Amino acid sequence: MFDIIKKTLLTGIGLAALTKEKVEELTKELIKKGEISEKEGKEFLDDLLQKSEQARKDLETKVEDTVRSVLKKIDLATKKDIEKLEEKIKYLEKKGTANE
């Protein structure tokens, strides 16, 4: 199971790491070599940029989900938990001040 997750993440990282400059450079090289036309180059560039952006978003979502899962398993307080406790402390402090 871990190997599948690892491979998926590495694939996502590879595609997500493609910067616009690298994609443009690759496209220009293919056009220069005559392997694709200008029109095909533009379509290729647009497609790769779109896939790269989607891969980055997918990777970000997977990492966030994994982190949430790990935090839940190790039973750490979340930011929301801490905020609720802070609100309760403020309420109790006000209540205690009012009774004095």
Mean pLDDT of 5-11: 49
Identify the burial level of 5 via C-beta atoms within 10 angstroms of its C-beta, where 0-12 means exposed, 13-18 middle and 19 or more buried. Answer: exposed
Question: What type of residue sits at position 65?
Answer: D
pLDDT digits (tens, 9 = 90+) for 22-76: 777 877 887 888 877 888 878 877 887 787 778 778 888 888 898 878 877 888 7
Query: Would you place residue 82 in the very low, low, confident or very high pLDDT band (cuts 50, 70, 90)?
Result: very high
- Residue 6: band (very low, low, confident or very high) from pLDDT cuts 50, 70, 90: very low
Task: Judge contact between 52 and 23, C-beta under 8 A.
Answer: yes
Number of domains in the chain: 1
Residues 6+ apart with CB under 8 A from 94: none
For residue 86, pLDDT beyond 90: yes
Which residues constitute the domain of residue 75? Answer: 2-99
Q: Give yes or no for a contact between 59 and 16, defined as CB atoms under 8 angstroms apart.
A: yes
